Each structure stands twice: as structure tokens, then as C-alpha cells.
Amino acid sequence: MARRRMIYEGKAKILYEGPEAGTIVQYFKDDATAFNAEKKAVIEGKGVLNNMLSEHFMIGLGGIGIPTHFIKRLNMREQLIKAVEVIPLEVVVRNVAAGSMSKRLGIEEGTPLSRPIVEFYYKDDSLNDPLVTEDQIVAFQWASPQDLDEMVTMALRVNDFMSGLMFGVGIKLVDFKIEIGRLFDGDYQRLILADEISPDSCRLWDIETGRKLDKDIFRHDLGDLADAYTEVATRLGVMPKKSGGSTGPTLVK
Ligand code: TMP
């Protein structure tokens, strides 16, 4: 990795300067954190799985006309992406009550929602990423009303696509988080899907058994995280089925 200049190191990814202006190399680490990094571990193979899964989702979303930062996967842990100015908001879409919303509103986990709920959280670790209102977002100029309209539309389109994709492999998309960035082209700016979409940033429940196949396994010590992510990747055809005793991803020449 020393060959590239590091731009930023986050909890689960590192960004390096890309080969051309306007590009970045996004490296997926094996590090897992939860509760604002109060809980930490290294989970072997997680970075590879998230790299492959995020590639799969971004290509699919691009295919239905949602602009994304994804350019191409470079290797098992890295992808080339477009450099964007990330809007400091986590956009969460929920289909079923779970996690912080269940806790905040006292709604039992697993309660289906009558319509998808879109929420915004202000990205600031020192404040613990607080839930914010659209008025606050506009007043503090994190995004304009037009940006917000576009972000909600994009988030709901991502929800429809991802829900269908997951339903097809027997998985319920309970909720997920996306991040959106600004891509500048002269005076013109476009909003595009950024960061990653992976089981780190979604809640995924097996439709038949209710088994959790996402980062809640790590948050609440429910089992083997890499096994669950491998299960998601295998069902989606992103990873070959395990054969013999071999575990974890294999390199394809
Ligand atoms: P929450 O119920 O904890 O608010 O999480 C909602 C969704 O957002 C869930 O799918 C997990 C995802 N998420 C992240 O990707 N990053 C985060 O920092 C948090 C808190 C949640």
C-alpha cells in the first residue's frame, strides 16, 4: 500500500490517491467497529467480502440509472472510485422497525412499517451521529432543499432495488444506510451514491428463519460474522459456493 498516498483512514476503509485526477482507491479493511468504535475487532476476510458485495450492488444500481462513485474493482480489497465531496449525512431507509428506531420509539424489533421511513443522521463521531431534521439540514447548509429531494428519491430507489435483489435470495432488507456525494463538473454538480453498500451498512434477515446476516452479529455477539457475509455473497452469486474444507475467499486467476 505504501506506493500510494493515503488521503483518509476511516473505521472500515482507507482512501488512497487514485491514478488519475478525480479518482480515489478505496481499500476495505477487516476491521469491524460498533457503537462509535467502542467495540472493535478484526474479522478476517470481511474486507474482501464487502469489496465484492459493494461492487455487486453499485454495478446493479448503476444499471438502473442511479449514478454511483464506483468505477471498477482493482483487486480483492480495493476499488477505484470517483472522488466526491461527501455530504455529511447518513441517509437511513427502514422497512421494518429495528435498531435505534425501535429503541428510540419503543417499537418492537421486527414490526413491519406501513411505508419506508427515510431518516438523516449528521456525520459527527464526537456527537455520536445524531438524528437530524430536514429543517436543521437546510438551516446549517449541509444540503439544500433540492439536494434533500434528490437524496430521498435516490434512497427510495436504492431501497426498491436492494429489497428486490435480497428478496430474490430469501433475505429481507430490514434497513440500510447510504452516503451521497457531490460530483463537480465545472459549475454543475451532481449527487451520486458514495461510500459502500454491504452487510456492514444494512440489516439483512433470512426470510425463513429470521437469522441475522449483517453487522448486528458483531454488535450483539450473535455468531460468526464472516460466515454470515459469505452466506449473503454466495446466495447472490458474488462468491463461489464453499467446496471441501476451504473457508474464506479464493483468488481467481
Ligand atoms: P440504526 O438502527 O443503528 O440507526 O442503524 C440503521 C441502519 O444504518 C442499519 O442498517 C445499520 C446502518 N448503520 C451504519 O451503516 N452505520 C452506522 O454508524 C450506524 C449507526 C448504522
**Domains, the chain, with CATH or none:** 6-83+225-235 (3.30.200.20), 85-206 (3.30.470.20)
Q: What is the mean pLDDT of the chain?
A: 95
Query: For residue 246, is pLDDT > 60?
Result: no
Ligand 1 neighbours, Cβ below 6 Å, are: 92, 98-101, 129, 175-177, 201-203
Ligand 1 midpoint to CA 214 (Å): 11
Query: For residue 45, is pLDDT > 80?
Result: yes
Ligand 1 midpoint to CA 178 (Å): 9
Report the share of the chain in percent with pLDDT over 70: 94
**Closest by Cα among 63, 69, 83, 66 to 153:** 66
Q: Residue type for 47, please?
A: G
Ligand 1 midpoint to CA 24 (Å): 25
Query: For residue 36, is pLDDT > 90?
Result: yes
- Residue pLDDT, tens place only, 182-218: 999 888 999 999 999 999 999 999 999 999 999 999 9
Ligand 1 midpoint to CA 152 (Å): 17
- Residue pLDDT, tens place only, 92-132: 999 999 999 999 999 999 999 999 999 999 999 999 999 99
pLDDT category, 253, cuts 50, 70, 90? low
- Enclosing H/E stretch for 230: helix 225-235
Taking the CA of residue 202 as reference, the ligand 1 atom at the shortest distance is: 10
Query: For residue 31, is pLDDT > 70?
Result: yes
> Hey, whose CA ends up nearest to atom 7 of ligand 1?
176
What pLDDT is stored for residue 4 in this prediction? 87
Burial class (CB in 10 A: 0-12, 13-18, 19+), 14: buried
Query: Cβ neighbours of residue 154 under 8 Å, at least 6 residues apart?
Result: 66, 178, 180, 191, 193
Q: Whole-angstrom Cα distance, residue 237 to residue 73?
A: 16
